[in-house]
């Protein structure tokens, strides 16, 4: 995801320079060597994303920062505090609902510092939030918001994603019913059959521990039903995440394996990651779906969007687009805001469609 964001910033951002803060100098160097065709200068610096002073020093003097480090529960808050300290706008790809709630606590500090932090601008959350705003802009009243996504088990990304899945998607989740946030269980409650673009097709999705119900409820307070549902393909990955997540929560810490003390999260995240990497014959495409229900001139309407593409591009590139929009003065708000509260959908979607091979996007309206 970070690689995709970097490539997009390099080719589309018109920045004079980009600083890559990384844990792995060698890996970043291999990526940077492949970048051609722009006058943008790129420098690489080793950084500990949990060190607020270190990150703030790196950010000083920059126009905008993009945070693609993970897992979010370890690095989201330190990087955000560093941005506030440095007085630099920030875009991130956070998709953990518990961290989202903590990030909103930084809103006043960000406003005082004159900083905009765009919270969760990836694919889901991110693109789906902007599509909700696009749908809402076409209605007079918003009654229901339904977002959903499908991820390929054979496209597990980096190891940080497995930590995130076990931390945030294996247990309780929050959804909005009858205008109130209620607790549900990820990959267990709310089973619903949904149709996604090929090659996904029709699959069962479930409530999931994601930020969309929380941020969308803050932005669209009249909506009485807001949910975010998901599944993996194949669906046995859902069960694996739930079982391993329970082990992480219930097991003593650390455990001993072959006489060695092993961190439970480290072990189970590595097991999940390797299990997914070894899958054969599973399409690597991910997909999303958005439905906004409400009224237009007194008539009930439903607005749908659906999209399919690869997870890395559909997560890293939206973050880059957000940073580029900030650098061009297209967002003048300050504070900690989700995408639907600070991004003009037409501008953002134009940029998405201007990049080839990110995702196929469909949309329609029904009375």
Topology given in CATH for the domain delimited by 2-123+311-366: Rossmann fold (3.40.50)
- Nearest-CA neighbor of 366 among 313, 296, 314? 296
DSSP 210: -
Q: Which pLDDT belongs to residue 261?
A: 87
Q: Which pLDDT belongs to residue 354?
A: 85
Q: Which pLDDT belongs to residue 357?
A: 66
Q: Which pLDDT belongs to residue 238?
A: 97
Q: Are 87 and 114 in contact (CB under 8 A)?
A: yes
Q: Are 159 and 266 in contact (CB under 8 A)?
A: no
Q: Which pLDDT belongs to residue 71?
A: 95
Topology given in CATH for the domain delimited by 127-309: Dihydrodipicolinate Reductase; domain 2 (3.30.360)
Distance CA 328, CA 13 (A): 9
Q: Over its length of 367 residues, how does the chain's per-residue pLDDT go in tens digits?
A: 999 999 999 999 989 999 999 998 999 999 999 999 899 999 999 999 999 999 999 999 999 999 999 999 999 999 999 999 999 999 999 999 999 999 999 999 999 999 999 999 999 999 999 999 999 999 999 999 999 999 999 999 889 999 999 999 999 999 999 999 999 999 999 999 999 999 999 999 999 999 999 999 999 999 999 999 999 999 999 999 999 999 999 987 777 878 888 899 999 999 999 999 999 999 999 999 999 999 999 999 999 999 999 999 999 999 999 999 999 999 999 999 999 999 999 999 999 888 866 767 888 777 7
Q: Which pLDDT belongs to residue 366?
A: 74
**Domain segments of the chain: what residues?**
2-123+311-366, 127-309
Q: What angle do helix axes 72-86 and 52-59 make, rounded to 10 degrees? A: 50
DSSP 184: E
Q: Are 223 and 291 in contact (CB under 8 A)?
A: no
Is residue 304 classed as helix, strand or coil in its secondary structure? Answer: strand
pTM here is 0.95
């Amino acid at each position: 995801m970070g690689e995709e964001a970097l490539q997009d910033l390099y080719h589309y951002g018109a920045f004079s320079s980009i600083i890559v803060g990384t844990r792995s100098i060698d890996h970043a160097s291999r990526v940077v060597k492949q970048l051609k065709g722009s006058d943008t200068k790129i420098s690489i610096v080793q950084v500990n994303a949990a060190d607020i002073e270190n990150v703030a020093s790196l950010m000083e003097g920059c126009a905008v920062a993009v945070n693609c480090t993970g897992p979010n529960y370890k690095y989201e808050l330190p990087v955000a505090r560093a941005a506030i300290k440095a007085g630099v706008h920030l875009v991130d790809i956070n998709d953990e609902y518990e961290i989202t709630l903590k990030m909103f606590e930084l809103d006043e500090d960000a406003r005082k510092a004159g900083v905009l932090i765009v919270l969760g601008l990836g694919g889901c959350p991110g693109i789906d939030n902007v599509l909700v705003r696009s749908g809402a802009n076409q209605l007079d009243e918003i009654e229901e918001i339904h977002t959903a996504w499908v991820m390929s088990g054979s496209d597990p990304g980096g190891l940080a994603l497995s930590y995130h899945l076990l931390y945030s998607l294996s247990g309780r989740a929050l959804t909005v019913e009858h205008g109130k946030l209620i607790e549900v269980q990820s990959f267990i409650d709310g089973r619903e059959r949904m149709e996604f673009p090929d090659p996904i097709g029709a699959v069962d999705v479930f409530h999931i521990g994601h930020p969309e119900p929380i941020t969308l409820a803050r932005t669209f307070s009249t909506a009485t039903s807001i949910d975010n549902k998901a599944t993996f393909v194949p669906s046995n990955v859902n069960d694996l995440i739930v079982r391993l997540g329970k082990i992480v929560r219930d097991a003593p810490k650390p455990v001993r394996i072959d006489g060695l003390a092993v961190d439970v999260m480290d072990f189970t995240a590595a097991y999940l990651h390797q299990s997914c990497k070894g899958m054969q014959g599973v399409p690597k495409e991910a997909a999303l779906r958005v439905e906004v229900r409400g009224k237009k001139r007194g008539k009930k309407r439903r607005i749908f969007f659906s999209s399919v593409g690869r997870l890395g591009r559909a997560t890293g590139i939206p973050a880059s687009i957000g940073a580029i929009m900030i650098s061009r003065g297209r967002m003048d708000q300050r504070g900690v805001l989700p995408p639907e509260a600070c991004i003009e959908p037409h501008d953002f979607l134009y940029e998405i469609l201007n990049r080839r091979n990110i995702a196929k996007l469909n949309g329609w309206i029904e009375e």
